[in-house]
Structure 1
Amino acid sequence: MGLKKKAILFFVLLIMIPVLAVGWYSYEKTSSTIKLQVGRTLLELLKQNHAALNRVINLIDENSIKISTDSAIRSLTDRQMSGKHRLEDVEGLLGRYSSLNISQPRYTLLTHHYAEYGIQLNPANRLSSVIDIQQFSTPAWFSETIQHAGNGSFKVLQDWSAFGKSRNTLAYMRAIRKQSNADQAESILVASNLESVLQPDLESVQLPSGSHAYLTNNLNEVLVSTAADVAPGSLLVFPREVDLKNEGVSFVQQDDKQWLYITHYSSTFSTRLIYKVPADTLTAQLEPIRYVILTITCIYLVLMVLFVAYLDRAVLRPLLFLTRLTKNYTPGQKRGEWIKSRRSDEIGHLHDSFHHMTERLNELIEEKYIIELKEKEIRLMSLQSQITPHLLYNTLDSIYWYGMKGGVPEVAEMVRDLSMLMRIGLSKGKLITTLSEELLHVDSYVRLQFKRYKNSFQVHMDITEETRGCMVPKVIVQPLVENAIFHGIGKMDGEGELWIRTLFVDGVLQIKVEDNGFKPIQLDLISRILSEEDQPDPLKEKGYGIRNVNKRIQLHYGNEYGLTYFLRPGGGTIAVITLPVLREEEISC
């Protein structure tokens, strides 16, 4: 599949389809998401509204406690004060807490059996704040309130006439205990007209059009509501999907319409506040936004199509052109005249770089051809040079046998040792050898020096057998032995000693060359030679052998290995070569 087809497939599968899917999903899910978010917001608003209503109810409750504990109420049972004065005091007390204003609570005292105390209550006075309940048939709620033993309770009173005309009203009632006997209640304090008190707070929340708010008791009886067709005391029936026990948000399909129910229960006065909101009003204003989202999605797709067309013209076609050039290009083939691209972007740089690359590649091919010719010449020269050592080995071997037959065995042995020394030193061009072969090379060199110095020193070999198979760079021990003989023990007239030791120390191979030479060495000078620091010209000519050994070891294995010098206790020098432990099968020579 070509790059252009892949780009189109990529656009369709990874851009167009996902954008359409996301647009459709967002279009479909926006309304439900916003409904839920608005529902949660309304729940918080409902909680605040319920708290405000509780504050108003709590104020009425506090006022009822103050009234029921006031001395004027308690004086009704005091026989030493005239009944008229006692009644006036109670009327005045209730008047201070009440008002004929329709939006204020009306406090009324319901009592009985006060005729025996000389208090005459006029039942015909419908606006009186104190009413003799004996003049009327005792309602059922009177006994219920008495049984609450001084605790306040809500009740919807039917045909209540405390305002001069009979009507249904929401009242908060509290029984007043006798002063002489706290276990018995003798009167009831009624705070009526509470629907007018609570209605402003209930209507203070601006709910969507068609919404209603209901404040109910535990029995789902309406205490106050914003619905004109729902009177106080009406029993509300809610769908089963609405959770009335806890606070929450519920969407319910009811009467071919979806409703949002928001509920909250307060245990302070055992009341429940409910919002009933048409769900469609929550998203009515969102339709333009949804169409905007759809429009933006379509515009985005159009722009993406235009971008893909531009991408095809500006990127894909030049890349296809470069692809044809690469297919037609043959390395080493001379190309025609190159014209620099007029584009300054990445595609133009790629075009120019391709031409530069082909030109450079042609140059490298030509250079490689020349190098191969030179390599052939060098190989021929190398083959020619290999004849010379071979001829030298044969010649030395002939001299050895001539010496043996001519009665000069010492000369013959020296020739043999020299032949061995050269054979191992050259070793057919190999750079790595076994420690065993390296020690043979040293042994040949030592025998030659014995002849020169007439056995004026001794050599001790302390070789650990396990180290003999280790692989080491060739000709690294002989230069150290040479330095020890020439600069240390060569002229000690039989007192010189040389020790060559091999051992394993902490997982590495150590080769020690130790002498008892009398001439002390300068360790700082040796350190400078080995580290190849800036040195004066006379110093550069010294220490070539040890510098060569140290450098070759570090080139092979790294700077953590190499050559180190120490002073020998009692006189002399110790040279230590540190190498990794490598076997013949682990490396390729």
Structure 2
Amino acid sequence: MKLPDLKSQLKKVRRASKRRSIQLIISLSFTVVSILSMTFMTLAFYANYINTARQTAIDNNEQIIDQISWNLNSYLRNMMGISNSMYYNVIKNMDLTSDTMTKEMDLLYAANKDNLISIACISQDGALISAAPIATRKSGVDFTEQDWFTSTEEKIENFHFSTPHVQNMFESSNYRYYWVVSLSRSVDLNYMGHQRRGILLVDMNYSAIEQMFSRVNERGAGYVYLIDGDGEIIFHPQQRAINSGLAKENNAKAASYNDGNYIETFEGNQRSVIVKTVGYTGWRIVSVMPISELASNFNQLRLFMLIIISVTVFLILFGNVFISKIVTDPIRRLEESLSEIEDGRFDAERIYIGGSHEIRHLGRAIKSLLVQMRNMMDERVAEQKEKRKSELNALQAQINPHFLYNTLDSVIWMIECEKYPEAISMITSLATLFRISLSKGNNIISIKDEVTHAKNYLAIQQVRYKNKFEANIDIDPAIEDCITIKLIIQPLLENAIYHAVGDLDDEGEIDIKGYERDGDIYIEVRDNGMGIPPEVLENLLVEKTESKGKGSGIGLWNINQRIKLYFKDDYGLSIESELDEGTTAIIHLPKLTYEEYKKGVENEKK
């Protein structure tokens, strides 16, 4: 968007903001404040809840690890107890030159066979002294090459725990071999008072450890695995996938952690890691909880809170709109009633008075002021209207001195020529003309009187112009008793004679026609003169023009203004003309009797 367009848009926004209603301001203000407050409280509550829930999940994981650590320790202590029992109760009290430990070893195995795969005692040089339940070594097996043997030889004073492996050193009748974790220790063997070192091997059933961790991992949130002190995996729920290279684990990093909680990133995923060391062994229990799983536990909470927020926002918005409407509706209705004043309708009864005390007081004050303004305006308008009527009527009532002089001169000529009947007729027409012009000071007369006035005027002019034109009058009798303004036809006849047919040789025609159409009255004055040029025609009724030279000096504008002044702007005078065809003046009046007109005037004054 260009800079000028941006400025124009900002101006529009500012203009729109200035036009905003008080209801909108109140609604938006309370809504924004409410939503912001609610959003802040919701976010604070949500953040606190998330942190608390995460800490609770971590605490639960720690409790689970503590429990599994206790179970594992119990299991390992039990295995160490078996080793101690075999060593201290059997081997130390036995002279192997003459005695055998097979029976005691079988009894000990039978008592703990659910957790044991085998027990064996091997001499320092790798010879099998005794074993249970199978005492036959597989051919080709060299005990001294086994990891548990070498680690025991390196540190003879400690217990040693191996990583999980398949125990296949002894012959098996069913060819079944089990996964075991080997517990080995150095022992002293007695041969006729001479001490020789040997190794006591206890093969623990790996499935017991596997079941222990599998039950924990069934909870579904994260997982728990077991490593030795060097990071080698002892148990993992995806151990086969890891061994085959299909999955990876950050076990080497976990081996470097001290006991505690950690947040790490592994393969692009953040996760919470808890590490717990198992006593005696150096093994580490590692709990892994992906952060995404912690967050996924809150999806239902998010949805619930979103629904609550949406409903609350709707209720806040609805409540604010409803309350602001109650508060601002009286102001709005008062403003709407005042807008009618701007449109020019000064009706005090339409001013709204309601609402709170302050708004009612304001409405009453405006109503009182409007009544005073209305009275002053009505008085002023009435004065101006009467003054305007007087001016127009006075102007219309003027008699052209040339017309009067020429008429009297014609009368004198008729008397001198002893044309007494014609002179009498002309004097009679002139007298009637003056009588109707005066009409006892009334400006409203009947159409019948106005037509009579026009006939007398035509009679005088036909004598003066020696019948150079013909005049035809066709007035519908049904409209003769309706009213009109006096002296509106005669000026049209005067213009038609002086500007159209007066200079024609016995070819002039003037037609006067009066009729009713669509409930209104129309009076047409048509001549067959030369017509009026368009540039002159368009200004005849919009400017205060006067006829040049001949004529009464009264412009058509005066007629049009008088009709509008008396009968409103819906009525008036219109002119139609075509060059070389003639001109038609059309008077448009309301169809009213004198009684109806007087009643309307009285109502208007009220």
TM-score (norm 1): 0.44
Q: Greater Rg, structure 1 or structure 2?
A: 2
TM-score (norm 2): 0.43
